[in-house]
């Protein structure tokens, strides 16, 4: 990933809102609990679950949920590959405690813990 | 599309396999009518041309698991390609001439003795179509979609794949702009294989992660 967040000290480049990722690999996050009507991309079974950022997905992309209604402009943010233990999702999970789920979540659905 | 009635009861000119005349049977369903109406409106309003639909079907038909198998075999024989593939699946596939007509990103997930990857789309049927073509029906049906994320070990066992408890299972749920391709482990005993012979071993199911790559007859 290019070191965009730092800018270039020689030129004093200022990044627009949303250009730099808000989260970094290793950050602990919670997936928000929202119940939007219409088009959404965060499955219900993961809302409210806790995990950690595994990777920032480049490049920033249009919010699929906005795009579903034809609103494509100005909504670019990062998606993140989020790691969630299976035991966090399913209390009665059968398998290794190291088993996990990975999903890409748009920035506006995540909060820092 | 309405499935033709197919009860194998008469001889057909040109081959000796008897079957009923292939014809539309019954009335079109709700979604058939909606698809036709939307398509005709889009063409009438000059939003798209009929030829663009035909062309897109050709694009999709040209994508088959053989492309994914070529990518996997190349990664097995060329460590530098493999590194690029794991760093950015899309640009590495583009090196081999595989275009991403649907503007998705591709993350390639490497299976190792410690980690077994499985892919699913719980919301619908997101699938790495640019490299694998159309998904199998079971991939799109709710039992696989629900169970792959809740009891992956039981699902894998039903495909004949027993994963040891010391191996971590990672299920990637594909829901938005990223697609996944599993890079299976190269089977033992294939040191003398050519790249094409290796590609011939790699099946669709191995690249979804429901089975390992096996030697023929194993």
Rounded average pLDDT over B194-216: 96
* Mean pLDDT score of chain B: 91
Is B142 found in the same domain as B172? yes
CATH topology of domain A27-112: SH3 type barrels. (2.30.30)
Rounded average pLDDT over B143-156: 98
The four Cα atoms B76, B172, B137, B132 give a dihedral, to 10 degrees, of: -30
Is B47 found in the same domain as B105? no
| Range B91-100 contact pairs with CB under 8 angstroms and sequence separation of 24 or more | B93/B130, B93/B131, B96/B67, B96/B70, B96/B71, B98/B67, B98/B71, B98/B130, B98/B131, B99/B130, B100/B130
First to last CA, chain A: 24
Of B168, B175, B177, the CB nearest to A96: B168
Question: B21, B46, B61 — which closes off a domain?
Answer: B61
- Give residue B2's pLDDT: 45
Environment class of residue A18 by beta-carbon count within 10 Å: exposed (0-12), middle (13-18) or buried (19+)?
A: middle
**Cβ-based neighbours of B158, under 8 Å, separated by 6 or more:** none
Strands A76-85 and A50-62: antiparallel
Domain residue limits, chain A:
27-112
Considering only residues B193 and A18, tell me which one the structure prediction assigns the higher pLDDT.
Answer: B193
Within a 10 A sphere around the Cβ of A91, how many other Cβ atoms?
A: 6
B125 classed as catalytic: yes
DSSP A76-108: EEEEEEEEEEHHHH-TT--S-TT-EEEEEEEGG
Is B72 found in the same domain as B49? no
* d(C-alpha B122, C-alpha B24), whole Å: 32
Is B89 found in the same domain as B37? no
Is B43 found in the same domain as B74? no
Is B136 found in the same domain as B69? yes
Residues of A in contact with B168 (CB under 8 A): 96, 98-100
Environment class of residue A40 by beta-carbon count within 10 Å: exposed (0-12), middle (13-18) or buried (19+)?
A: middle
- Give residue B195's pLDDT: 98
Provide ipTM, 2 decimals: 0.87
A2-36 tens-digit pLDDT: 554 555 566 788 888 788 999 999 999 999 999 88
Is B105 found in the same domain as B187? yes
* d(C-alpha B135, C-alpha B64), whole Å: 10
Residue B4 in any domain: the answer is no
Tell me what percent of chain B is helix, strand and coil, each rounded to the nearest 5. 40, 10, 45
Is B69 found in the same domain as B51? no
Single out the catalytic residue among B93, B126, B172, B174: B126
Residue B188 has pLDDT above 90, yes or no: yes
Split at pLDDT 50, 70, 90, the class of B1 is: very low
Single out the catalytic residue among B62, B99, B124, B150: B124
Is B202 found in the same domain as B171? yes
- Give residue B18's pLDDT: 74
B124 classed as catalytic: yes
Is B149 found in the same domain as B47? no
Question: With contact defined as beta carbons under 8 Å apart, do B53 and B39 qualify?
Answer: yes
A30-84 tens-digit pLDDT: 999 998 888 788 999 999 999 999 999 988 988 888 888 888 766 789 999 999 9
Domain housing B35: 30-61
Residues of A in contact with B154 (CB under 8 A): 94
Is B100 found in the same domain as B192? yes
Split at pLDDT 50, 70, 90, the class of B175 is: confident
Considering only residues B116 and B104, tell me which one the structure prediction assigns the higher pLDDT.
Answer: B116
B49-95 tens-digit pLDDT: 999 999 999 999 999 999 999 999 999 999 999 999 999 999 999 99
- Give residue A8's pLDDT: 56
């Amino acid at each position: 990933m290019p070191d965009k967040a730092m800018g270039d000290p020689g030129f004093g480049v200022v990044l627009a809102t949303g250009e730099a990722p808000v989260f970094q690999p290793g950050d602990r996050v919670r997936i928000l609990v929202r119940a939007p009507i219409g088009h959404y991309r965060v499955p219900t079974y993961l809302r409210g679950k806790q995990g950690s950022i595994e990777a920032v997905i480049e490049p920033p992309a249009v919010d699929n949920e906005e795009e579903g209604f034809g609103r494509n402009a100005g909504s670019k943010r990062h998606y993140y590959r989020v790691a969630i233990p299976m035991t966090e999702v399913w209390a009665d999970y059968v398998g290794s405690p190291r088993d996990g789920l990975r999903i890409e979540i748009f920035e506006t659905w995540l909060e820092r813990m | 599309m309405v499935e033709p009635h197919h009860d194998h009861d008469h001889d057909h000119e040109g081959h000796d396999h008897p079957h009923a005349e292939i014809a539309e049977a019954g009335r079109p369903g709700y979604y058939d009518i909606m698809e036709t109406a939307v398509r005709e409106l889009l063409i009438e309003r000059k939003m798209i041309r009929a030829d663009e639909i035909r062309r897109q079907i050709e694009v999709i038909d040209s994508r088959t698991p053989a492309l994914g198998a070529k990518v996997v075999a190349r990664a097995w024989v060329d460590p530098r390609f493999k590194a690029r593939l794991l760093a950015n699946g899309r640009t590495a596939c583009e090196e081999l001439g595989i275009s991403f007509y649907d503007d998705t990103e591709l993350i390639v997930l490497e299976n190792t003795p410690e980690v077994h990857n499985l892919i699913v789309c719980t919301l619908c049927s997101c699938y790495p179509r640019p490299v694998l073509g159309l998904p199998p029906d079971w991939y799109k049906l709710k039992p696989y979609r629900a169970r792959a994320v809740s009891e992956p070990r039981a699902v894998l066992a039903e495909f004949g794949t027993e994963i040891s408890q010391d191996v971590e299972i990672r299920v990637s749920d594909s829901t938005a702009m990223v697609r996944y391709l599993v890079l299976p482990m190269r089977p033992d005993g294939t040191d003398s294989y050519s790249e094409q012979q290796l590609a011939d071993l790699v099946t669709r199911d191995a690249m979804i992660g429901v089975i390992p790559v096996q030697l023929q007859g194993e």
